[in-house]
Structure 1
Amino acid sequence: MKVKNIGDKTMEPEYDLSKMKKRPNPFAKQLKKQVTISLGIDVIEYFETMAQEKGISSQELINLYLQDCVVSKRKLSLN
């Protein structure tokens, strides 16, 4: 069996991905989209503190919080 050299690594011929058929990503709708938003300093500090306590990034924590709002269909009361 021939071994194909790719850079400094070797690859068995049966793993040659150049012959792989392309198809759409079935999880594309679940991917993240980068956006820019302006947040109050107090909001940023709150999420940064909470994120440090949880050992995750503040962006990840904000995303988790917003995802929880989506799942629970939470509505903001503006009175």
Structure 2
Amino acid sequence: MKKETDHEPEDEWRSEYDFSQLQGGVRGKYAERYQAGTNLVLLDPDVAQAFPTAKAVNEALRLLIQIAERQKA
């Protein structure tokens, strides 16, 4: 008697997915960047409007860090 887990898995991909047309993929293309680590933060729309670039966000946070360090002293 066979158990349900003894059967071969069925192909669940849809017929419209033609993987033979996929070309140019590079395995591990972003592996080095991933290992370096990232800190992705999603800003609320109102904050993103005030700080539209990563540079603007970083400058504001650095200023906040300086203010906080002065308050400690």
TM-score (norm 1): 0.28
Larger RCO (CA within 8 A; separation ≥ 6): 1
More strand by share: 1
